[in-house]
Chain A
Amino acid sequence: MAVLDLKRKLAILSDAAKYDASCASSGAEKRNSLGGKGVGSTEGMGICHAYAPDGRCISLLKILLTNFCIYDCAYCVNRVSSNVARARFSVKEVVDLTLNFYKRNYIEGLFLSSGVIRTGDYTMDEMVRVARSLRLDHDFRGYIHLKLIPEASPELAAEAGLYADRVSINVELPRDESLAVLAPEKDAAGIKKAMGRMRLHIEDRNEPVKAGRARPRRFASGQSTQLIVGADGARDGDILARSAALYGSYQLKRVYYSAFSPIPDGSARLPLSRPPLVREHRLYQADWLMRFYGFGQGEIVAPGEDLDLAVDPKTAWALRHRGDFPVDVNTADRETLLRTPGLGARGVDRILQARAQTRLTLDDVKRVCGSVKRAKPFIVTADWTPGAATDAEGLRAALVAPQQLSLF
């Protein structure tokens, strides 16, 4: 086999990693390199060091250790039957690249994933060696995210959590049944079990420490997962129900949705068309409503149904509940305001703050929320009432036009 130079390897193995939606580097324990020997800090909030032409943020060196893989998952560009160029990094190469990039302030840390070579344990062990070397040999204090191989042994997964800030296991397909069809070697139950074990590890670590005992060493503070949207027939309602179950079962920090994207040398088992990117966007909005706005999954969209692509899920909900509107921004409680289209969590807090002093006008709301375009038909202010607009036939159409998303 020809020896590839490092640059070529980097091109192949970062190209292969681009389908993974997760990139966030937030939620790590705060730490810095003062008093240490190495480099690095995390400040709670991650930093996006660049943006790619696809609009996504680059905060981590996101690469695969190798894109050789013994499996044949239809949606995956690295499946054994695909004809893409292959490469493999050595442990040291990944460590050096990470440090070199980090010291120049290109990245927040490393996101390491891998195709499965030989066995799950062998592959996981290589990945753990990268993290261990960064932490122990180089006193690296930046962010590390490791993608676990679900079938690797629990001990290796636990060790991964010792060095990584975040670990994740991709569920990939929202329906276990489709996993059986599109990724016959993947075992949905095995993935769930691995996530369950990881939750127990993470919780264990957060137990209060007995007096006189040292706190066990650093352990991942969270796990996340990714669902591919549009590769199987799952509807948005099914996808969100799955997310709700995953959040509740495994205390996930995030579920990422990745619109199924055409891949080079695609498999014949996949749908030909790709879902509109706006669908992914709507799913994130719906997910957000569940996590931060107190919406139950069932309130947003029923299983077996899809989200409205033309309006955001909160507006769609409000249009179905017109009887609850308009709400008076000067008197309504927080929960009600949070459910009003166009009012974000920050805006709502500011409204509550401001109204202690003044009766808010439409202009005031505009100043604290940035815009009232969407909120206008749903709110009453000191100088504005939508009158019959809330119930108007054409309201939905009026709300669609101005915010048509052009993601492509």
Chain B
Amino acid sequence: MRVARLESEIDFDGWRTAARALRAEGVRPEAVVWTVERELFDQGLFPPHEGEGKAFGVPAAFVELARTVILHRSPERFALLYRILHRLERQPRLLDNPADTDVAKARDMAKGVGRAIHKMHAFVRFRRVEDVAPETPREQYVAWFEPAHRVTEAAAPFFARRFANMNWSILTPDACVHWDRAMLTMSAGADPADAPSQDAQEEMWRTYYASIFNPARLNPAMMKQEMPRRYWRNLPEAALIPDLIEKAQSRTETMVAAQPAKPSERVLKAALKHARGSYGEGNLTNLEEVAAGIQVCRRCDLWRDATQGVPGLGPARAALMIVGEQPGDQEDLQGVPFVGPAGQLLDRAMAQAGAPRDRVFVTNAVKHFKHEPRGKRRLHKTPDRGEVQACRWWLDAERRLVRPKVILALGATAVQAVFGKALPIGKTRGQRQALDGGELALVSWHPSFMLRIPDRDAKDRAYAELVTDLKQAWKLAG
């Protein structure tokens, strides 16, 4: 039997040196006893502590795992780690098998340690210490804490990052850690009496704790799972728990039983005033009314998942009106037509055609964005005939008010809305047609169509045709 003695419970370097030597000698895991006790086994054989074990390769993940596992309070951790180390010689990929019993156990321990660190970050409660030297006031805080595993050192850097400009100490039975706004130092374990016994803020904190929970949702099992009892002793708020639980039921009952109060007349009147009236048919006398009406329109279902209706934009009396399909993602968010990728393409084409955007009325056949959520994105969906038909009401109002000489319809949906029927764009583009309202109409490709064509040449051709059509429309309107 070999005895390996370590300097402390968390002496990772000592464990590593010993393990290295033992494995180099080929000592089997069953033949080693690990201990930190001074007196015990004084007669035993010690493996050499320095230098004699030859270094050998192990996966970096093992060193990391071992560093964590050693902080666990389980007495068998040293032996378990040595057993894994020993097995790694023949199974170098052992750690990649989370189903292995030893590996699973070590991971469980590591998880426990991680959890203990996390709980320490969460459950340390600092108490402020009165200034020792009032002439140089500085904030000094001390906490008493009992971690589930030996994690004081490992948990300390977090507090240094968070409370960099305070002086603080955390005292635990294993070890104490201190921060002086520059350096972390460790000292031997302490006693609860060494820490201050209260802090004026605790009364406020308890008030908050008691008020923030909803008695109608009482669920102590869930609470205990996340805030294990072993920590309660040092949590100032935990003393309230039994009473809060006990009274929760009756508090809920009182709430439910209380008769609803009658809202005052004044309040009801105000509410009615705020409720919106619907837009009146036929009494739209200007574009502002159209824009407002679109916001509350319920003629089809598209308003529901859209952010807002997007009315047309441009001079109230423009000679040219361009009609697109419907707002896209960006238009929907900004409430402005043709500002997304297709809009940018249209801007470019208009500039090239010499048709200034600010002198043209730009609008869409359908005023709300039709889409389908796909994960974190919204996929454009072409509006159906019913929706185009329903929304035509608004387009017609815009046409009536703007009274353009020329309407350029971009894409099939716009054609449907402007002409009331479908026309093949490839065949009809370039031809001017008279509309019932007396306007001239032209059709062309929708810029988003160009964004979707994969073929470079076809794309360039369609774009050039759009520019040509814009030019013609602008000339006719001129």
- A180 proximity list for chain B (CB < 8 A): 275
The reply to whether A82 and B261 form a contact with Cβ atoms under 8 Å apart is: yes
- A35 proximity list for chain B (CB < 8 A): 164
The reply to whether B216 and A10 form a contact with Cβ atoms under 8 Å apart is: no
Selected contact of A248 from candidates B214, B241, B371, CB within 8 Å: B371
The reply to whether B261 and A248 form a contact with Cβ atoms under 8 Å apart is: no
- B272 proximity list for chain A (CB < 8 A): 184
The reply to whether A81 and B208 form a contact with Cβ atoms under 8 Å apart is: no
A26 proximal to B (CB < 8 A): no
- B376 proximity list for chain A (CB < 8 A): 247-248, 251
The reply to whether B165 and A367 form a contact with Cβ atoms under 8 Å apart is: no
- A61 proximity list for chain B (CB < 8 A): 208
Q: Mark A10-27, 1 if CB is under 8 A from B, else 0.
A: 111011011100000000
- A56 proximity list for chain B (CB < 8 A): 213-214, 217
Pick out which of these stretches binds chain B: A264-272, A304-312, A319-327, A389-397.
Answer: A264-272
A350-372 contacts to B (CB < 8 Å):
350, 353-354, 356-358, 360, 363-365, 367-368
- A54 proximity list for chain B (CB < 8 A): 213-215, 217-219, 223
- B163 proximity list for chain A (CB < 8 A): 33, 39, 103, 105
Selected contact of B237 from candidates A10, A33, A50, CB within 8 Å: A50
B468 proximal to A (CB < 8 A): no
Q: A33-B164, A101-B201 are in contact. Are A189 and B258 (CB under 8 A)?
A: no
Q: Mark A175-204, 1 if CB is under 8 A from B, else 0.
A: 010001000110001001101110110000
How many chain B residues have a CB neighbour from A under 8 Å? 92
Q: A55-B221, A261-B216 are in contact. Are A358 and B304 (CB under 8 A)?
A: no
The reply to whether B305 and A245 form a contact with Cβ atoms under 8 Å apart is: yes
The reply to whether B373 and A50 form a contact with Cβ atoms under 8 Å apart is: no
How distant is the Cα of A264 from the Cα of B253 in the complex, in angstroms? 10
Q: A50-B227, A263-B255 are in contact. Are A11 and B99 (CB under 8 A)?
A: no
B334 proximal to A (CB < 8 A): yes
Q: A54-B213, A180-B275 are in contact. Are A249 and B99 (CB under 8 A)?
A: no
How distant is the Cα of A354 from the Cα of B305 in the complex, in angstroms? 44
B263 proximal to A (CB < 8 A): yes
A269-309 contacts to B (CB < 8 Å):
270, 274, 277, 297
Closest to B330 in A: A200
How distant is the Cα of A100 from the Cα of B126 in the complex, in angstroms? 11
Selected contact of A81 from candidates B223, B237, B267, CB within 8 Å: B267
Closest to B275 in A: A184
- B260 proximity list for chain A (CB < 8 A): 265-268, 270
- B267 proximity list for chain A (CB < 8 A): 72, 80-81
A106 proximal to B (CB < 8 A): yes
Selected contact of A367 from candidates B98, B164, B201, CB within 8 Å: B98
- B255 proximity list for chain A (CB < 8 A): 262-264, 266
How distant is the Cα of A82 from the Cα of B255 in the complex, in angstroms? 13
Closest to A70 in B: B270
The reply to whether B162 and A41 form a contact with Cβ atoms under 8 Å apart is: yes
B156 proximal to A (CB < 8 A): no
The reply to whether B125 and A249 form a contact with Cβ atoms under 8 Å apart is: no
How distant is the Cα of A237 from the Cα of B275 in the complex, in angstroms? 28
Selected contact of A10 from candidates B208, B235, B263, CB within 8 Å: B208
The reply to whether A104 and B98 form a contact with Cβ atoms under 8 Å apart is: no
- B67 proximity list for chain A (CB < 8 A): none
The reply to whether A11 and B165 form a contact with Cβ atoms under 8 Å apart is: no
Closest to B334 in A: A200
Closest to A198 in B: B333
Q: Which of B159, B222, B335 has the most CB of A within 10 A?
A: B222
The reply to whether B209 and A104 form a contact with Cβ atoms under 8 Å apart is: no
A333 proximal to B (CB < 8 A): no
A133 proximal to B (CB < 8 A): no
A52 proximal to B (CB < 8 A): yes
B360-414 contacts to A (CB < 8 Å):
371, 373-378
- A80 proximity list for chain B (CB < 8 A): 267
The reply to whether A367 and B207 form a contact with Cβ atoms under 8 Å apart is: no
The reply to whether B96 and A357 form a contact with Cβ atoms under 8 Å apart is: yes
A259 CB → nearest B CB, Å: 8
Q: Which of A33, A180, A356 has the most CB of B within 10 A?
A: A33
Closest to A360 in B: B99
- B261 proximity list for chain A (CB < 8 A): 81-83, 265
B220 CB → nearest A CB, Å: 6
Q: A50-B227, A54-B214 are in contact. Are A105 and B125 (CB under 8 A)?
A: yes
Closest to A141 in B: B162
How distant is the Cα of A196 from the Cα of B329 in the complex, in angstroms? 10
A286 CB → nearest B CB, Å: 14
B152-203 contacts to A (CB < 8 Å):
158-166, 199, 201, 203
B210-238 contacts to A (CB < 8 Å):
210-223, 226-227, 235, 237
Q: Which of B123, B128, B271, B332 has the most CB of A within 10 A?
A: B271
B97 proximal to A (CB < 8 A): yes
- A63 proximity list for chain B (CB < 8 A): 208
How distant is the Cα of A353 from the Cα of B122 in the complex, in angstroms? 32
The reply to whether B226 and A33 form a contact with Cβ atoms under 8 Å apart is: no
Given contacts A249-B333, A264-B258, list 18 more A-B pairs with CB under 8 A.
Answer: A10-B208, A11-B207, A11-B210, A18-B214, A39-B164, A39-B166, A51-B223, A53-B220, A100-B204, A103-B141, A104-B125, A104-B205, A185-B270, A196-B332, A262-B252, A263-B255, A265-B260, A367-B104
Counting from the closest, the 7 A-B pairs by CB-CB distance are A55-B222, A52-B213, A248-B373, A55-B219, A364-B99, A81-B263, A32-B161
Could you give 28 example pairs across A and B, Cβ below 8 Å? A6-B204, A14-B212, A32-B164, A34-B164, A39-B164, A49-B122, A50-B123, A52-B212, A52-B223, A56-B214, A58-B212, A63-B208, A72-B263, A103-B139, A104-B199, A104-B201, A104-B205, A105-B163, A176-B304, A184-B271, A189-B308, A195-B307, A197-B333, A247-B373, A248-B375, A261-B217, A266-B256, A353-B97
* B interface residues (Cβ-Cβ under 8 A, vs A): 93, 96-99, 101, 104, 118, 121-128, 139, 141, 143, 158-166, 199, 201, 203-205, 207-223, 226-227, 235, 237, 241, 244-245, 248, 252, 254-256, 258, 260-264, 267, 270-272, 274-275, 295-296, 304-308, 332-335, 371, 373-378
